[in-house]
Amino acid sequence: MYDIAIIGAGINGCSTAYEFLKENKSVLIFDKSGVASGGSGAAGAFISPKFSKAGDLKEIINDAFVYSMNYYEQNFSQAFTKAQLLHIAKDEKEDAILRVFKENTQLSLQKPKHEVFEKLTKEAKARESISLEAGLVDAQKMCQLMIEGAKFMHQEVESIVWEDDYWLINDSYGAKELVLATGAYKKLLQEPYIELRGVWGHRIDIKTDLQNPNSIHQFVSISPTLNGKVAIGATHNVHYHPQINKEAYDIKAGRRELLEKASRTLAIDDVEIVKDYTGLRSGSFDYMPLVGPLVLSKETLQCCEKKIRVKKPDYDSFLYYPHLSMINGSGGYGFVLAPYLARILKEHITGARKIPLTITPARFFARWAKKLS
Ligand SMILES: Cc1cc2nc3c(=O)[nH]c(=O)nc-3n(C[C@H](O)[C@H](O)[C@H](O)COP(=O)(O)OP(=O)(O)OC[C@H]3O[C@@H](n4cnc5c(N)ncnc54)[C@H](O)[C@@H]3O)c2cc1C
């Protein structure tokens, strides 16, 4: 019997595993395709703030950015690289957003490195930009390091059953607590209010003569040169889903698109593509992450319909699955958010804190239930 089982070994599952391993708990973690094989394996895994106007999403990402920079450096410096980020606006609308951000941010901004700025195209130089200290993660190495000490099972979880006081997984493994960290892949728990959007992404690692000390984000994300390689990636394909589309993803067209978009920011010559990575990132319908316990929709509708139909329902009055939570929906900021969200989840599971209302999955149950009438 394990203290906790986690399904999904992406950055969300692995960050959660690490939180419980620190508490000396026994941790079992499953992944159907291997560690960091989904969205996490495809990510450029840049740690950056959100450059937008005010709002809940900007607040949580920017708090998580400060937290994660410190967390990765303190705990996993061998899989974390600090690098200046040059974020360049894509168009006039973004020029205006970056100007507002610069005026209001508490983060300390830097001057862009001269040698980087000089390499930009005329179009990129003309746009508004922001430079600050940021970083990037080696996704595969990071996830492996985080789960050292846990039992890893390379298998798909097809059944989870609550057996009075523990979860029985695939008819074989027992755990007192269960966390779903399955990203945008097939739903394991058939609850109608949990809906996640998968956006397909592609990253290429290239060999090139370019000596780039910065992360550069504009139409795509471009990494600094590390071990002679530069990574170029983006999640931009809302139409392709590996579990829905019949045809295979067109990898050559994806490569062309990434290189064409990168060339609008800076000239990259002598390109040799050495590896492709693809995967889905998962986002919620209000763009905020989904972290915390899961409402039993049928039972809650039966017992408490009147309590749901009020303007501001009390989420504490809903009925929840015993010892079951999720951590998901981090959109394009999974590596920024995961350590921060995993700590909130751990503190919730150990009884030390309530999940903030803006990220609890119960908010989607309340919306879904209201629409039924
Ligand atoms: C191209 C690309 C670039 C990105 N760039 C960045 C970036 O620069 N910075 C950033 O912060 N974020 C970035 N993201 C987003 C980030 O990758 C995601 O937010 C993050 O990976 C989500 O992590 P996750 O653990 O929730 O999901 P995933 O990494 O997708 O992990 C879910 C795992 O669950 C497993 N699984 C699902 N169902 C089952 C089952 N039934 N049994 C067993 N295993 C199961 C899957 O195999 C998968 O490995 C990018 C994403 C992509 C695709």
Indicate which CATH number applies to the domain containing 351: 3.50.50.60
Instruction: Give the model's pLDDT for residue 35.
Output: 98
Asked whether residue 93 is domain-assigned, the answer is yes
pLDDT of residue 68: 98
Give the 3-state secondary structure percentages of the chain, helix then strand then coil, rounded to 5. 35, 30, 40
Domain with 160, as residue range(s), is 2-38+142-194+286-372
Residues 125 and 206 in one domain: yes
Q: Could you tell me the distance, in angstroms and rounded to a whole number, from the CA of residue 181 to the centre of ligand 1?
A: 9
In a domain, 222, yes or no: yes
| CATH number for the domain harbouring residue 245 | 3.30.9.10
341: Cβ contacts below 8 Å, ≥ 6 apart: 12, 15, 64, 289, 291, 327, 330, 359
Residues 19, 97, single domain; the answer is no
- Looking at residue 172, what is its pLDDT? 97
Domain boundary among 234, 257, 283: 283
Same domain, 158 and 173: yes
**Same domain (yes/no): 235, 264:** yes
Q: Is residue 363 part of a domain?
A: yes
Instruction: Indicate whether residue 157 lines ligand 1 (CB < 6 A).
Output: yes
Whats the size of the chain, residue-wise?
373
Predicted local distance difference test score (pLDDT) of residue 238: 64
* Residue 341 covered by a domain: yes
Is 42 buried (19+), middle (13-18) or exposed (0-12) by CB count in 10 A?
buried
What residue owns the CA closest to ligand 1's atom 33? 8
pTM for the full predicted model: 0.95
> Ligand 1: does its nearest atom lie under 6 Å from the Cβ of 329?
no
Cβ(216) – ligand 1 distance below 6 Å: no
Identify the pLDDT of residue 162.
97
Q: Considering 248, 283, 318, which residue would you say is the last residue of a domain? A: 283
Residues 293 and 173 in one domain: yes
Question: Is residue 254 lining ligand 1, measured as CB closer than 6 Å?
Answer: no
One domain for residues 179 and 231 = no
Q: How would you write the pLDDT of the chain (373 residues) with one tens digit per residue?
A: 999 999 999 999 999 999 999 999 999 999 999 999 999 999 999 999 999 877 899 999 999 999 999 999 999 999 999 999 999 999 999 999 999 999 989 899 999 888 888 899 999 999 999 999 999 999 999 999 999 999 999 999 999 999 989 999 999 999 999 999 999 988 899 999 998 988 899 999 999 988 899 999 999 999 999 988 999 998 766 667 777 777 888 899 999 999 999 999 998 888 899 999 999 999 999 999 999 999 999 999 998 877 787 888 899 999 999 999 999 999 999 999 999 999 999 999 999 899 999 999 999 999 998 888 6
- Distance, in Å, from the CA atom of 349 to the CA atom of 360, rounded to the nearest integer, reads 13
**Of 283, 316, 340, which residue sits at a domain end?**
283
Residue 72 lies in a domain: no
If asked whether residues 28 and 86 sit together in one domain, one would say: no
CA of 10 to the centre of ligand 1 (A): 5
164 & 29 share domain: yes
Cα three-residue angle 351-346-172, rounded to 5 degrees: 100
- Of 248, 204, 210, give the one whose Cα is nearest residue 228: 210
Q: Ligand 1: which residue has its CA nearest to atom 5?
A: 43
281 lines ligand 1 (CB under 6 A): yes
Which pLDDT does position 40 carry in this prediction?
A: 96
Q: Are residues 362 and 290 in the same domain?
A: yes
109 assigned to some structural domain: yes
Domain check: are 277 and 316 in the same one?
Answer: no
Ligand 1 within 6 A of 317 CB?
no
For 69, how many CA atoms within 13 A lie in the half-sphere containing its CB? 17
Does residue 54 lie within any of the structural domains?
Answer: no
Hey, whose CA ends up nearest to atom 15 of ligand 1?
332
Query: For residue 300, what are its two tokens?
Result: 């809650």
Please work out whether the CB of residue 333 comes within 6 Å of at least one atom of ligand 1.
yes
In this predicted structure, what is the pLDDT of residue 127?
A: 97
Same domain, residue pair 175 and 225? no
**Residue 44 within any structural domain of the chain:** no
Report the domain count for the chain: 2
Check whether residue 116 and residue 234 sit in a common domain.
yes
The encoded tokens of residue 228 equal 């002679």
Nearest-CA residue for atom 13 of ligand 1? 332
Our answer on whether the CB atom of 315 is closer than 6 Å to any ligand 1 atom is no
Which phi and psi angles does 63 have, rounded to 5°? -65, -45
- d(CA 101, CA 103) in angstroms, rounded, equals 5
Q: Is the distance from the beta carbon of residue 325 to the nearest atom of ligand 1 less than 6 Å?
A: no
